[in-house]
Amino acid sequence: MEKQEGSGLPLEGVRVVEFTHMVMGPTCGMILADLGAEVIKVEPPGGDKTRNLPGLGMGFFRTFNRNKKSVLIDINTPSGRDTAEELIGQCDIVLENFRPGLMAKFGLDYAQLSKKFPYIIYVSHKGFLPGPYERRLALDEVVQNMAGLTYMTGPKGQPLRAGSSVNDIMGGMFGAIGALAALQERHRTGRGQEIQSALFENCTLLAAQHMQQFLMSGEPPPPMPSRVSAWSVYDIFTLADNEQLFIGATSDKQFAILCNVLDRPDLAADPYLATNAQRVAQRPQLLERLGQTLKTHKLAELTPKLESAGIPYAPIVSPDQLVSDPHLIQSGGLVDMQTEDGSITKAVLLPLLMGGRRPGVRRALPRVGEHTDEVLSRLEASRTA
């Protein structure tokens, strides 16, 4: 494959063409792009509709499409499909996440492309892997309900979806993992393969620990809000001024240290609270006693003491507060990125250190079709070569 500009990143020289929208497929492309691949995002005339979503979808495009190039191709037309196929022939990896059967209708599925390009690695992001459900359309919230996540998250009888597109994002991650494994296998065999990543199976993995709990105990696991905790102090407490703080003391030593921090030697010395098992047996009463004390503590004064003592704790943080989180900023995980309209926003980087560096933002977010001439001119050059 033709090499791109030098980046020094592990996927430098790998070329990816992406037929995706929303979250799952774009996440896969973003991971590969962040790791150095040249990722070419094919958009329809007018651009990816995800660029202009309102409400909770507003941040999708800017979050999951950095470090990519944008090319306008209308694959609804014969000439557009021909161009797309020619572009695919110059790439290592194809990504797609459209409804089942759509890419086959356009002649751009793996079965048809692999006959011409046996080296191609083709990553499909779907709702379900092959089986009884495979023709169903799926959304993150659909599979969260089907695979036990909403049941485990909300109180009993009140299923609640997770507060992020967890399966879309993780599905894109597994697509990227599969693509990287296929690249490694291609080094040995010279042949590509089809990778399939699916929302339902992804969410089932998230619920696997609870499935195993049932298989081991014979008892259906209760939702997390009504679970029987393995630890006595592992909860959210209300402090002074109605501030909230999670505190976890998971060992006898941590419980004694917490009692010292809170100036409750009576709890530390109580023989009926000496072991975790004893404390769990009296958990409601213990939490009430701790809660009365914690109501007198201010968050800003208590958290440095807990940190110094080595007690796990966490304030309840909303996403808007993360924009100014000192650890994210100082660790290099939240950086400036130029957007498609020329303004500057903040981008959350991959949670990775590689050789001491964070794979970061290398290019501005692409404008609609910004790289069409650049990318398609290579096709013209290859025809005349």
Question: Average pLDDT of 255-278?
Answer: 96
pLDDT at position 5 is: 53
Query: What separation in angstroms does the CA of 8 have from each of 11, 68, 100, 336?
Result: 8, 17, 37, 21
- Hey, what domains does the chain have and what are their CATH numbers? 15-206+328-384 (3.40.50.10540), 230-320 (3.30.1540.10)
Picking from 351, 258, 276, 253, the residue whose alpha carbon sits closest to that of residue 313 is 258
Q: Is the pLDDT of residue 4 over 50?
A: no
Active site residue 168: yes
- According to DSSP, residue 345 is labeled E
Contact 40, 87 (CB under 8 A): yes
Catalytic residue among 48, 92, 140, 168: 168
* % residues pLDDT > 70 (the chain): 98
**Band (383; pLDDT cuts 50, 70, 90):** confident
**Band (3; pLDDT cuts 50, 70, 90):** very low
Query: What is the distance between the alpha carbons of residues 187 and 92, in angstroms, rounded to a whole number?
Result: 12
pLDDT at position 206 is: 97
Q: Is the pTM of this model over 0.85?
A: yes
The string of pLDDT tens digits covering residues 47-70 is 999 999 999 999 999 999 999 999
**Band (291; pLDDT cuts 50, 70, 90):** very high
Q: Is the pLDDT of residue 1 over 60?
A: no
Mean pLDDT taken over the chain: 95
Picking from 349, 18, 376, 4, the residue whose alpha carbon sits closest to that of residue 179 is 18
**Environment class of residue 369 by beta-carbon count within 10 Å: exposed (0-12), middle (13-18) or buried (19+)?**
middle
Query: What is the distance between the alpha carbons of residues 373 and 385, in angstroms, rounded to a whole number?
Result: 18
pLDDT at position 196 is: 98
CA-based R_g, the chain, Å:
25
Question: Average pLDDT of 351-363?
Answer: 95
* % residues pLDDT > 90 (the chain): 95
